[in-house]
Amino acid sequence: LEQNVEKLTGYLARYKASGILNRIDGVDRQGSAGVFQLKSPVDKSIICDVARGAEADIDDAATAAATAFPAWRDMPATERRRILLNVADAIEARAEEIALCECWDTGQTIRFMSKAALRGAENFRYFADQIVQARDGKHLKSPTLMNVTTRVPLGPVGVITPWNTPFMLSTWKIAPALASGCTVVHKPAEDSPLTARLLVEIAEEAGLPKGVLNTVNGYGHDAGKRLTEHPAIKAIAFVGESRTGSMITKQGADTLKRMHLELGGKNPVIVFADADLERALDAVIFMIYSVNGERCTSSSRLLVQDTIREEFEAKLIERVNNIKVGHPLDPATEIGPLVSEEHYNKVVSYFDIARQGGATVAAGGETVGEQGYFIRPTLFTGANNQMRIAQEEIFGPVLTSIPFSTEEEALSIANDTQYGLTGYVWTNDLTRALRFTDKLEAGMIWVNSENVRHLHTPFGGVKASGIGRDGGDWSFEFYMEQKHIGFAI
């Protein structure tokens, strides 16, 4: 822990003097709306000032991205690939700095964030390797025409990201956009600007031409809003809350923006009595209590078959009570502080909401100390699916357990939510798994597995969890336009 704190202090020193600046057209820029302060959720200390961008800064960044676009689009794919592979190497080389900074402004633990930085490098490497094929088209011959299709990059695009695992998520959007030949204006979340700053810096040092990636910090209602409305910006890749997704869809309507929305979730994990219960227990714990539970794909609703409920919940309580809450830079810590005061107050409010709704707080349900935004990992039992704790995205290390008796009932509870991001099914009955997953309303489902991401598979949600898919060729579909050309023959 001491070593990590010392290293972090070294990494942060430069921001103390100058704050975190915007990066537009390869130049550091103050924000036109002044600054806002970045606070660490670990001890509530002020980390530094952050340049607060607003309309004028977004306009400049969009102009820079539009100016840089033709040369980036026309650069031979092999050359773009080389640059993006350099970016991946450079991310890896600074993975420790990225991880420590991410822990400090988000409260995430080093045990998970050290992997998230490497996932960022993997995202760049994966999409770089697809570049050469990305423009492949089809030949569709007809009696009078030789029809040819090809794909071309859309142009400058906006990427708006949330504060949860911000580095990994930003690269998940920015890497395929750049690989497609688009240029980018990135508006990171107010609460987590540190690693967004590192990303643009690393990318430029690795050879990304100026103006190809621009980073403007600021609030959603001014900088974010302007980005979604800017006429030069052809598409918005957004990750965040469902209600924000709905807002930016309206904001982008006048300029007919192409939108990709990755939104909230209230994902069910369904445990049938015939499952491998020890494996299921490990996965249930991992999928809600890792990454502070601040994860869109977390399984925040446990649906457990009534014949095993008592035994399963008893084991769960024992395990939850042993989860180590503490300083996020301590490698032994499993849960760090929640990202901000606002989010902490929201999550804590559900302790009373659960009690008032008639559920039992079987583990946790309390805050830890006064120094930062720490809470104990929490388990609500005796719940039903109508309760607010079963319907609303709490977005913390808080699990709601709901019993069911039949497969039919489990399916009906699982689907009775506005969301549809992920689902997790635990059973050793193959036909049931096939039947159940066919009817489960979710964009991504894992059977007898926790969430394992493979970059060539489609990532995204249904219902209020989003519109569109990332991953593999789905990402290129979003950042590129299909073009048809017919040659008379």
* Contact positions vs ligand NAD (CB under 6 A): 160-164, 169, 187, 189-190, 219-221, 224-225, 228, 239-241, 244, 247-248, 251, 262-265, 296, 393, 395, 421, 461, 465-466
What is the DSSP secondary structure assignment for residue 325, as one 8-state letter?
B
Q: Which is nearer to ligand NAD, 22 or 251 (CB)?
A: 251
User: Residue 191 CB, nearest distance to ligand NAD (Å)?
Assistant: 7
Cβ neighbors of 113 (< 8 A, separation 6 or more) are 98, 99, 102, 103, 165, 328
Angle among Cα 46, 215, 127 to the nearest 5 degrees reads 120
Its sign, for the CA torsion 63, 69, 71, 72, is: positive
Work out the number of other CB atoms within 10 angstroms of the CB of residue 85.
18
Q: Which is nearer to ligand NAD, 31 or 220 (CB)?
A: 220
Which helix (H) or strand (E) segment holds residue 248: the answer is helix 242-251
What is the DSSP secondary structure assignment for residue 21, as one 8-state letter?
P
Tell me whether residue 262 is one of the annotated catalytic residues: yes
Q: Which is nearer to ligand NAD, 52 or 187 (CB)?
A: 187
E strand map for 110-231? 139-141, 145-153, 156-160, 183-187, 213-215
Q: Which is nearer to ligand NAD, 56 or 314 (CB)?
A: 56
Amino acid at 1: L
User: Residue 54 CB, nearest distance to ligand NAD (Å)?
Assistant: 12
Report the candidate in 475, 472, 454, 466 with the shortest Cα–Cα distance to residue 177.
475
User: Residue 223 CB, nearest distance to ligand NAD (Å)?
Assistant: 7
Report the candidate in 148, 144, 187, 143 with the shortest Cα–Cα distance to residue 169.
187
Task: Point out the catalytic residue in the list 262, 313, 334, 450.
Answer: 262
Q: Which is nearer to ligand NAD, 120 or 181 (CB)?
A: 120
Six-digit token string for 376: 């104990």
- Beta-bridge partners for 236: 158, 259
Residue 390 to residue 150: CA distance in whole angstroms: 46
**Cβ-proximal residue to ligand NAD, closest one:** 220
Q: Which is nearer to ligand NAD, 218 or 328 (CB)?
A: 218
Report the candidate in 257, 215, 260, 238 with the shortest Cα–Cα distance to residue 475.
260
Residues known to be catalytic: 262
